């Protein structure tokens, strides 16, 4: 069942610090824009300084007088994640962490600075590490008066076609651009649900909530690391099936619901309720694949992430 919840239902976020990865464009930017207008201090965690500064200037134009800042974070480098987290912990609590940034289907297998397959290393291991290192700041917010802190993980309807290859999670033997992406989004959702189980077991008030944007007509869909022909084709496709795609602003609604709605629960997964969960402003529970709900597999994946990153928590 969907919800009649709208952006107008977002309560004031005054006094809250919200960190969003990949906030310089797409649904990350739209979430930053809305939350800043609701009074939050929003940290745009971006890999590219130039694009991040462009986003800040855009926010100054579109939402003047709001409190936003840029912080440089490269999720494809564990050293960068560690340095970033150390700096953030110096500034106190984080009320909401939105793990939004992602890499989608580069045509050739690439690796992160640490030798991980780029999508698994960025989308999964980078955010796993960041969340663990920032947990003290979320716990600090937990001790303050106000709403429960939240960790929001952005998954995808693509997770339903994903398969976790525990024998070769880095796609070394065989690399499929979309297969690796689908696996990374499946892993994101598995870890979000496992995090909720671990938080509840620890008696924490922090909520782990997942969301997906449907199919949003963002630059991730349009461009990415693709040939000129494919970029052109995707733009044409986007215009041709525009009725089946969310705009960037519409695509951000599930993220904002997961981050702020009182109806959003720890362990919940939310998305648009339109055709095939691809579009629509009505938000409700999203469909979860059987593998994503497999607690034994999720615990195994969690252990792999701890081993690969050297970061253990919960």
What residues are labeled active site?
Answer: 181
CA–CA dist 180, 123 (Å, integer)? 11
The DSSP code for 121 is I
First CA to last CA across the chain, in angstroms?
Answer: 32
Cross-strand pairs, 70? 44
Cross-strand pairs, 18? 42, 96
Q: Are 34 and 252 in contact (CB under 8 A)?
A: yes
CA–CA dist 54, 2 (Å, integer)? 36
CA–CA dist 118, 112 (Å, integer)? 5
Backbone angles phi, psi at 256, to 5 degrees: -65, -35
CA–CA dist 157, 182 (Å, integer)? 9
- CB-neighbour burial class of residue 129 (10 A; exposed 0-12, middle 13-18, buried 19+): buried
Alpha-helix residue ranges (DSSP H) falling in 202-265: 219-222, 228-240, 248-251, 253-260
Task: Give residue 211's Cα distance to chain centre.
Answer: 8
């Amino acid at each position: 069942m969907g919800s009649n919840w709208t952006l107008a239902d977002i309560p004031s976020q005054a006094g809250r610090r919200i960190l969003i990865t990949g906030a310089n464009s797409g649904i990350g930017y739209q979430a930053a824009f809305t939350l800043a207008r609701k009074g939050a201090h929003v940290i745009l965690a971006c890999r590219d300084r130039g694009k991040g500064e462009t986003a800040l200037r855009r926010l100054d134009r579109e939402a003047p007088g709001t409190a936003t800042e840029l912080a440089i974070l490269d999720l494809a480098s564990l050293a960068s994640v560690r340095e970033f987290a150390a700096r953030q912990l110096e500034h106190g609590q984080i009320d909401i962490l939105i793990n939004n940034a992602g890499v989608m289907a580069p045509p050739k297998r690439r690796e992160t600075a640490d030798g991980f397959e780029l999508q698994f290393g960025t989308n999964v291991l980078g955010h796993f590490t960041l969340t663990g290192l920032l947990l003290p700041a979320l716990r600090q917010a937990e001790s303050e008066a106000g709403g429960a802190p939240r960790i929001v993980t952005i998954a995808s309807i693509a997770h339903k076609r994903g398969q976790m290859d525990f024998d070769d999670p880095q796609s070394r033997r065989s690399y499929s651009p979309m297969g690796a992406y689908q696996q990374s989004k499946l892993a994101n959702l598995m870890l979000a649900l496992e995090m909720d189980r671990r938080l509840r077991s620890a008696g924490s008030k922090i909520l782990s909530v997942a969301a997906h944007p449907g199919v949003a007509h963002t630059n991730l869909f349009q461009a990415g690391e693709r040939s000129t022909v494919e970029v052109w084709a995707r733009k044409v496709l986007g215009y041709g099936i525009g009725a089946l795609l969310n705009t960037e602003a519409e695509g951000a609604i599930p993220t904002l619901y997961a981050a702020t709605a009182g109806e959003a629960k720890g362990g919940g997964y939310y998305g648009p309720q339109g055709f095939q969960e691809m579009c629509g402003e009505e938000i409700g529970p999203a469909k979860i694949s059987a593998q994503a709900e497999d607690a034994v597999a999720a615990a195994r994946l969690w252990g792999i992430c701890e081993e690969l990153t050297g970061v253990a928590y919960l």
